[in-house]
Structures are given as C-alpha cells and as structure tokens.
C-alpha cells in the first residue's frame, strides 16, 4: 500500500467501516488526485457477509470470504488504520480512535449494523448471533461441540435437546442457516457420528411474521417454505421469541421448545457513535440523511449503507432496505459526488436500482426475484444465478477460486472437511 502524506492541497476523507459501502467509496477514489483517503476499520480485513453462514456451518473457511485491507490497497493511493471509533467531534472535525485521532474534511460513516436482540436480555446472553467472522467461528465451534456432547450422552432426552436447534428469523440469513443445518443433519451427521444414527432432534425456523423471506414474492414464500419442509425443517410462523434460558425457548404466546441452541437472525440495529446527536438518528438508530447521504444537522458528515436511512426517495419513503446492493450503490454514488465536488460540478442524488432478491435453501434449492418481483426463478436457473452473483461479488480472485472449489466439493459429495474446532488464547480450554 502506498503511504500518502496529507498536504494542504488535498482534502482529507476518512471512511469508517470497510464493508460493502465503505470499501466501494475507497475503491472508487483510489486513483483520484483531489483527496487523501483513509479507511478505518476495527478488523484488518474485509469479509463477505452474505456467506458468513457458510463459514458458521463449516461449508467454507474464513479465508474464502475475507481479504486483508493492506493487501487489497497495495500500490493504491489509500491509507488504512486498524482501530475502533471512540467518538467524533463534528465541530473540530476530529475522529477519536482507540489508538489516537484523525482530523478530516469529510467523514463517511459506513460502519454497518449489529445484531438487534430487541431488549431480550436472556436471548442476548445465551443465543448465537451471526454478524462477523468471529461470530461465525464461534457458531461453528459451538455446533461441533454440541454434536460431540450428544454423541457421548446416554440420556435420550438430553440428546434430543442437544440435537434440537431453533433458528429465529425468517430472512435470508435465517433461511440459509436452517437449510445448511438440515443438509448437515441429513447427509453428514450420521457419517461423522454413527452413535446418533437413530437419535431424535429437530431443526426449527421461527419468524414473527406470516411469511419466510417476507419482502420477496408470494411464489418465493411458498417455495421456500416447502423446500425447508422437504429438508425436514419445522417452520413456525407468527411466533415471537420472548425468552431463552436453561435450554428452553419461550414464545410470546407461552409456548415453549426445548433446545440447547438458539441461533438469532431476527434483525439488526445500526451502530452508533458518541458525538452524533440523537436528533440525527432515526428508525433503528440509523443516521438520517438527505438524498446525497449527508447526515442531518451535521456538516461534511455522510452516512451510507446499513447505518443510514434516507427517506427522500418516494419509492422508499421509510428508507431503503438494509441490503448489500444498497450499500454498494450508495458507496459508489458518494465517491462520484466527492469527485464532482472537487471538480466544481453538480452532485447527484442517490437513486437505488433494485436488481432483485435471492436466497439459497440447502444444497441445491434457490429462489430469485428480479426487477421488483416481475421475474421469478427457482430450481437450477435460480441456483446458477445465486452462485454466479455471490462468486463475482467476492473481492479477490483467490477468494473466488477457494469458494468455487469448496462449493463444488460440497455439491458433488454432500460433504465438506472443515469441521475442526480451533481455539484462541493461551488459557482457552473451553
């Protein structure tokens, strides 16, 4: 990576967060002659969030979906800083970090969101969430350790509880996790754990609404539900989780399920930072922006991706969906506007182009809705589209090759070889 020394001729842009939104701003600006650009992230790598669940279920290794920023920015006019944000001082234009501070002329928040537990403390303490690589590795280790416990217990009731998994959330993450877990149960569990050949245990997916993948088409709703049922997944709709303690999932209507594992994929909430006034925050703590992604009541501060909410688009009066494509397009538009500002040209408002939604259910079932549900695909055509889009979206050819190889092995053999537990820390004996 080429080190850029700030000088008086260049404005300084600081980008907080190296996900879809932040990385696209940085990559669009690396050839520019007008700005010194610094990307700040608490991790030293970018990772592809839509495939986190495949790391968590042992179908991909972490390096297949992640890549170091410094190698990604090598030979480009971009700076990288591995640090977390402590606070921002909008008046002084200073960003305070865990390892120091950065001054800026323009600040772009692209720090995404975290898991929303909706104030249910028992779920926050006991459930498994899935937002980062660390979460995926924790989930993978937890699932494997649970299988090992089930293999040695002689208590049939306890074994059934250990083998029962509840996935909360009927969005793409929840549906894809449930499908992968069902594939493991149907094709891998008996191979690796002959002790569990006749053991009982179920996989549930629950959602508070009447449909799985609610924003998608009616065809997708019915096909997704049937595909999961065919895999052996129990589908519970209009069901709100209210508690998870001592291996018991409790619902708002009083119903309970005994399960040792609750995987929480039921929602997200935007990350917030000290120094951003409450008046600038909207639904889900997202920063309120205008059509150019400038944060309300703040000068030279922008917000893009999941962390922002823009209600100026008549097509999306309640804000754009918190999806990868929105973040990517916001990042690119913001970068183009910075170049326009430097050249004294007019900037352009953000306009989201909806390319469609998709999800994969298990090994070979996929559903795709294109052009605002005008085109619906399922079966092999949908699977091909899903595989192609996700593969080309990975940031590096090394990632693409690794992922394609692992997918091919998993598809052809209904198996994979990544079910190892790796522990970190000198005294970690868990």
Q: Where are the domains of the chain?
A: 11-115+269-342, 121-266
Pairwise pLDDT comparison (6 vs 103), residue with the higher score: 103
pLDDT tops 70 at residue 236: yes
pLDDT, residue 216, reads: 94
Question: Which tokens sit at 416?
Answer: 């994979």
Other Cβ atoms within 10 Å of 89 Cβ, number? 13
DSSP secondary structure, 147-170, as one string? HHHHHH---HHHHHHHT-EEEE--
Asked if 129 and 36 count as a contact pair (C-beta separation under 8 A), the reply is no
Q: How far from the centroid of its chain's Cα atoms is residue 276's Cα?
A: 24
Q: How far from chain centre, in Å, is Cα 210?
A: 23
Q: List, for residues 247-296, the tens digit of each pLDDT value.
A: 999 999 999 999 999 999 999 999 999 999 999 999 999 999 999 999 99
CATH assignment of 121-266, given 3.40.50.1370, 3.40.50.720, 3.50.50.100, 3.40.50.1000?
Answer: 3.50.50.100
Nearest Cα to Cα of residue 114 among 278, 266, 216, 228 = 266
pTM: 0.91
Confidence at residue 166, expressed as pLDDT on a 0 to 100 scale: 98
Beta carbons within 8 Å of 424's beta carbon, 6+ residues apart: none
Q: Are strands 365-370 and 375-378 parallel, antiparallel or unpaired?
A: antiparallel
Q: Are 11-115+269-342 and 121-266 equal in CATH topology?
A: yes
Q: Which residues have C-beta within 8 Å of that of residue 51, sequence separation ≥ 6?
A: 60, 64, 65, 390, 403
Q: Mean pLDDT for the chain?
A: 91
Please state, in angstroms and rounded to a whole number, the distance separating the CA atoms of residues 22 and 425: 31
For residue 119, how far is the Cα from the chain centroid? Answer: 20
Number of CB atoms found within 10 A of residue 31's CB: 10
List residues bridging with 13 in a β-sheet. 37, 106
On whether the CB atoms of residues 368 and 388 are closer than 8 A, the answer is no
Q: Which residue has 């990517």 as its token pair?
A: 328
> Which pLDDT tens digit goes with each residue over 51-103?
999 999 988 889 999 999 999 999 898 999 999 999 999 999 999 999 999 99
11-115+269-342 belongs to CATH 3.50.50.60: yes
Backbone angles phi, psi at 212, to 5 degrees: -85, 150
Residue-wise pLDDT tens digits, 35-53? 999 999 999 999 999 999 9
């Amino acid at each position: 990576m080429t080190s850029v020394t700030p000088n008086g001729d260049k404005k300084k842009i600081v980008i907080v967060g190296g996900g879809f939104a932040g990385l696209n701003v940085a990559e669009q600006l690396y050839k520019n002659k007008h700005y010194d650009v610094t990307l700040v992230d608490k991790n030293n790598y970018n990772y592809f969030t839509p495939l986190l669940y495949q790391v968590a279920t042992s179908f991909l290794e972490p390096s297949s979906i992640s890549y170091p920023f410094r190698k990604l920015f090598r030979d480009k006019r971009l700076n990288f800083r591995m640090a977390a944000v402590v606070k921002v001082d909008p008046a002084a234009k200073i960003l305070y970090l865990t390892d120091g501070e950065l001054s800026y002329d323009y600040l772009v928040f692209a720090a995404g969101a975290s898991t929303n537990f909706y104030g249910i403390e028992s779920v926050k303490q006991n459930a498994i969430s899935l937002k980062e690589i660390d979460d995926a590795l924790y989930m993978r280790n937890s699932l494997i350790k649970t299988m090992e416990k089930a293999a040695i217990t002689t208590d049939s009731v306890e074994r059934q509880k250990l083998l029962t998994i509840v996935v909360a959330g009927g969005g793409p993450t929840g549906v894809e996790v449930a499908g992968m877990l069902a594939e493991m149960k149907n094709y891998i569990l008996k191979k690796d754990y002959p002790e569990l050949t006749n053991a009982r245990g179920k996989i549930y997916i629950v959602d508070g609404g009447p449909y799985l993948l609610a924003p998608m088409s009616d065809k997708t709703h019915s096909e997704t539900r049937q595909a999961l049922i065919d895999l052996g997944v129990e589908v519970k709709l209009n069901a709100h989780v209210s508690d998870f303690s001592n291996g018991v999932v409790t619902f708002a209507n009083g119903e309970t399920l005994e399960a040792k594992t609750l995987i929480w994929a039921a929602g997200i909430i935007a990350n917030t930072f000290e120094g951003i006034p409450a008046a600038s925050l909207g639904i889900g703590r997202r920063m309120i922006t205008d059509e150019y992604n400038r944060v309300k009541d703040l000068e030279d501060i922008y917000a893009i991706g999941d962390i922002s909410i823009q209600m100026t688009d008549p097509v999306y009066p309640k804000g754009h969906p918190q999806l990868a494509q929105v973040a990517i397009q916001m990042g690119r538009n913001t970068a183009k506007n910075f170049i326009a500002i430097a050249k004294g040209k007019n900037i352009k408002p953000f306009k989201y182009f909806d390319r469609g939604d998709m999800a994969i259910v298990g090994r070979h079932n996929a559903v795709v809705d294109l052009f605002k549900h005008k085109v619906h695909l399922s079966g092999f055509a949908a699977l091909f589209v899903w595989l192609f889009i996700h593969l080309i979206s990975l940031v590096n050819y090394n990632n693409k090759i690794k992922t394609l190889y692992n997918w091919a092995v998993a598809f052809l053999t209904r198996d994979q070889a990544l079910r190892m537990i790796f522990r970190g820390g000198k005294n970690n004996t868990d």
